[in-house]
Amino acid sequence: MAKQSKIQSKTRWVRALRAWKKSGLKASAFCRKNRLGVQSFYAWRRRLAGPKTGKARGPSAGLRAGRRAFLPVQVVTSPGENRIVLELVLKNGRVLRLFNEVPATVLAELIRAAEAC
């Protein structure tokens, strides 16, 4: 069998995938019946499907999936002695401004307390 061009190969797999959808067969049975490689079938199905839109990516992905995620933090400085080290805007809209460095355990407790109110 002569080697197929990329376009011929793509066209062949587009047709095969359409036929598979119409057949109602499981992928493995369809591949066996049509003498297609199962791994090639899945690879072409994935390639022709294009990028997935169902899976969220990026910083807000965890929030949409119901998991904890990092929230945006803005560090603000003020002139003089009242230099803000950290400013957090919490989920409930409250703002927590820290003027000194705070250990992580204390910060976590402050956030829990502020969000509980």
pLDDT digits (tens, 9 = 90+) for 73-115: 776 665 555 666 778 887 777 887 887 777 888 888 888 887 7
Query: CA-based angle 102:105:108, to the nearest 5?
Result: 90
Q: Where are the domains of the chain?
A: 6-49, 68-116
What's the whole-number average pLDDT of the chain?
77
What φ, ψ does residue 4 adopt, rounded to 5°? -85, 150
Q: Band of the pLDDT at 52, cuts 50, 70, 90?
A: low
Angle, CA of 63, 68 and 70, to the nearest 5°: 85
By the 8 A CB rule, do 36 and 15 touch? no
Q: Which residue in the block uniquely carries the two structure tokens 């080290």?
A: 85
